[in-house]
Structure 1
Amino acid sequence: MDTPERLIQSTRELLWERGYTGTSPKAILQRSGVGQGSMYHHFSGKPDLALAAIRRTAEEMRAKAEEQFSEPGTALERITAYLRRERDVLRGCPIGRLTQDPDIVASPALRQPVDETFGRLRQRLAEVLTEGRQRGEIASALDPASTAATIVAVLQGGYVLARAADSTEPFDQAVDGILVLLAQGAR
Structure 2
Amino acid sequence: MNARDRLVASAQELLWERGYGGTSPKAIQDRAGAGQGSMYHHFAGKAELAAAALGITAAAERERAESILGGEGPALERIVAYLRRERDALRGCPIGRHVADPELVADPALRAPVEETFAWLRDRIAGIVAAGQESGELRAGADPVAVGAAVVATVQGGYVLARAAGAQEPFDQACEGAVQLVSALRFS
CA RMSD of aligned residues (A): 0.7
Distance in 1 (alpha carbons) for counterparts of 2:96 and 2:129: 23
Deviations 1:28-56 (A, max 9, x none): 01111111100100011000000000000
Matches within 5 A, 1:42-81: 42-81=42-81
Tell me, in whole angstroms, the C-alpha distance in 1 between the residues paired with 2:177 and 2:85. Answer: 16
Corresponding residue for residue 94 of structure 1:
94
TM alignment of 1:161-176, pairs within 5 A: 161-176=161-176
Partner of 1:38: 38
Identity percentage over the alignment?
57
Q: 2: CA distance between counterparts of 1:102 and 1:52? A: 19
Residue 25 of structure 2 corresponds to which residue in structure 1? 25
- Give the TM-score of the pair, scaled to structure 2: 0.98
1:109-120 counterparts in 2 under 5 A?
109-120=109-120
Whether the 8 Å CA contact 2:122–2:149 is kept in 1: the answer is: yes
Which blocks of at least 5 consecutive residues in structure 2 are unaligned? Answer: none
Which has the higher mean CA deviation after the structures are superposed, 18-27 or 82-91?
Answer: 82-91
Shift of 1:185: 1.4
Distance 2:63 2:44 in 1: 28
1:134 maps to which residue?
A: 134
Task: Give the paired residue count.
Answer: 187
Following superposition, the deviation at residue 135 of structure 1 comes to 1.1
**2:11 aligns to what?**
11
- CA deviations 1:32-84 (Å, max 9, x no partner) are 11111001000110000000000000000000111111111111100111111
Mark the runs of 5 or more structure 1 residues left unpaired by the alignment.
Answer: none
With normalisation by structure 1, the TM-score equals: 0.98
How far apart, CA to CA, are the structure 1 residues paired with 2:77 and 2:6?
A: 37
For the residues of structure 1 that align with 2:9 and 2:129, how far apart are their CA atoms?
A: 34
1:147-166 map, 5 Å: 147-166=147-166
2:83–2:176 Cα contact (<8 Å) kept? no
In the alignment, is the contact (CA less than 8 A) between 2:84 and 2:176 conserved in 1?
no
User: Are 2:88 and 2:168, in contact at CA under 8 Å, matched by a contact in 1?
Assistant: no
Per the TM alignment, residue 157 of structure 1 is displaced from its structure 2 partner at its CA by 0.3
